[in-house]
Amino acid sequence: MSEESLNIYRKVCGAKSKDSGFALSLCSLANVYREQGKLDEALKMYEECLEMRRTIHGPDKIHPDIAQSLDDLGYVHYDRGNYDQAAELYGKSLTMYQTVCGAKSKHSDIALPLWNLGNVYREQGELEKALELHEQSLEMRRIVHGHDSAHPEIPHSLHDLAHVHYELENYSEAERLYKQSLEMRRNVYGAKSTHSDIASSLCNLANLYRKQGNLDKALESHDRSLKMRQEIHGKGKPHPDIALSLWSIGLIFLEQKKLDQTVKSLEQSVEILRHVHGQTSAHAYITDILLNLAEVYEALGIREPLTKQTKQVVERPPVNNRTNTIT
């Protein structure tokens, strides 16, 4: 449903109408905004959907629709880098789903917030917790869908489990899982399909190749991923996935000592992320890219671009040893 359709619905049924179908439409539109990188619009819609569902079912009611809305809100805070808020929302969603489905139940609704919490812990550097939750989520999804099933949730779990092994420097296991996830996604969407999940797999395999010192192979995979993302979201569109691909490519150019190309890629990346998160945002990815840029500016003897904000970031210690893996 488009925003125009929602406005027509409000006029017909009343601006204050509370309806389960309308709440679902709000959620669907919010999903579109989030996919487009329009996080403010997505947050507004998700919050309205949650409020409506609490009105319909009761503010203290344990209901799967409310659990879903909590999970959806967690996604936006995760995308914004608000990991504590995301973890709180995912935790509430998990508790509610466990109450609805049974604490020991093997259910896809329980596997989802486990997976999401695993991603938060990875971003926060709590890798052992992340590993445990991703393994639980993968096991649960295999029980639900079948061990050899090509259901999309299984390559998602394999992919994010690979992230954790990458962070733990278990590179052989990470490569095995990334390739398994990529192959499964191609089976699901089609070998020649242009899909965001396939682009994500290519991007993270490229990050692994870069870590292993295979820069030409890494650049080839990142180029394929970037072109796919530009085809999906629009070449001139400010989408965070495009920004992260440009960042990754810039880091390869940096290692190859191609400093002019490094600056071009990193400046494009930070410009997109500032468009998404706000010009004065202190989002962790923006901070890290500015640190990379400062290093290159210094090597090139360029002082002009080091604005007051960039200097403040440069003087601040890095948040952690985060790598720009993308879920």
Q: What is the SS3 string spanning 63-80?
A: CHHHHHHHHHHHHHHHHC
The pLDDT assigned to 279 comes to: 86
pLDDT at site 127:
97
**Domain count along the chain:** 1
Q: Is residue 322 part of a domain?
A: yes
Reported residue count of the chain is 327
For residues 94 and 113, is the Cβ–Cβ distance under 8 A? yes
Q: Is residue 75 part of a domain?
A: no
Q: What is the DSSP string of 214-254?
A: -HHHHHHHHHHHHHHHHHHH-TTS--HHHHHHHHHHHHHHH
Domain membership flag for residue 320:
yes
Contacts of 72 (CB under 8 A, 6+ apart): 27, 30, 31, 46, 49, 50
pLDDT at 293: 92
> Is 274 within the bounds of a domain?
yes
Round to the nearest angstrom and report the end-to-end CA distance of the chain.
Answer: 26
Q: What is the pLDDT of residue 11?
A: 58
Expressed as residue numbers, the domain containing 323 is: 228-327
Distance CA 66, CA 86 (A): 15
Contact 254, 244 (CB under 8 A): no
Alpha-carbon distance of 162 to 91, in angstroms, equals 23
292 inside domain: yes
Is the CB of residue 199 less than 8 Å from the CB of residue 225? yes
What tokens appear for 184 in the block? 């499964």
> Chain-centre distance of CA 259, in angstroms?
28
Q: What is the pLDDT of residue 178?
A: 96
Max distance between CA atoms of the chain, in angstroms, equals 63
* 327 falls within a domain: yes
Tell me, yes or no, if the pTM score tops 0.85: no
Domain assignment present for residue 263? The answer is: yes
Residue 236: the pLDDT is 83
Using CA atoms, how far apart are residues 227 and 206, in angstroms rounded to an integer? 14
**CB atoms closer than 10 angstroms to residue 311:** 12
In CATH, what number is assigned to the domain containing residue 315?
1.25.40.10
Angstrom distance (rounded) from CA 136 to CA 237 = 37
Taking a C-beta distance cutoff of 8 angstroms, is the pair 262, 250 a contact? Answer: yes
CA distances from 235 to 41, 88, 116, 266, 285 (A): 21, 35, 29, 16, 21
User: Is residue 206 within a helix (H) or strand (E), and if so which, with residue range?
Assistant: helix 196-211
DSSP 125: T
Q: Does residue 314 lie within any of the structural domains?
A: yes
Describe the crossing of helices 284-300 and 259-277 by its angle, rounded to 10 degrees: 150
pLDDT tens for the 327 residues of the chain, in order: 556 656 655 555 555 556 788 888 899 999 999 988 889 999 999 999 999 999 999 988 999 999 999 999 999 999 999 999 999 999 999 999 999 999 888 999 999 999 999 999 999 999 999 999 999 999 999 999 998 787 999 999 999 999 999 999 999 999 999 999 999 999 999 988 999 999 999 999 999 999 999 999 999 999 999 999 999 999 888 999 999 999 999 999 999 999 999 999 999 999 999 999 888 888 889 999 999 999 899 888 887 555 544 555 555 544 444 445 444
Of the candidates 210, 252, 203, the residue with the CA atom closest to the CA atom of residue 232: 203
Which pLDDT score, from 0 to 100, does residue 256 have? Answer: 95
- pLDDT at residue 322, rounded to an integer: 47
- State which H helix or E strand residue 40 sits in: helix 39-57
Residue 317 gets which letter from DSSP? Answer: P
Helix (H, G, I), strand (E, B) or coil at 280: coil
Q: Are 27 and 45 in contact (CB under 8 A)?
A: yes
**What is the residue type of 53?**
R
Residues 324 and 207 sit within 8 Å (Cβ to Cβ): yes
Contact assessment for residue 243 and residue 273, using Cβ atoms and an 8 Å cutoff: yes
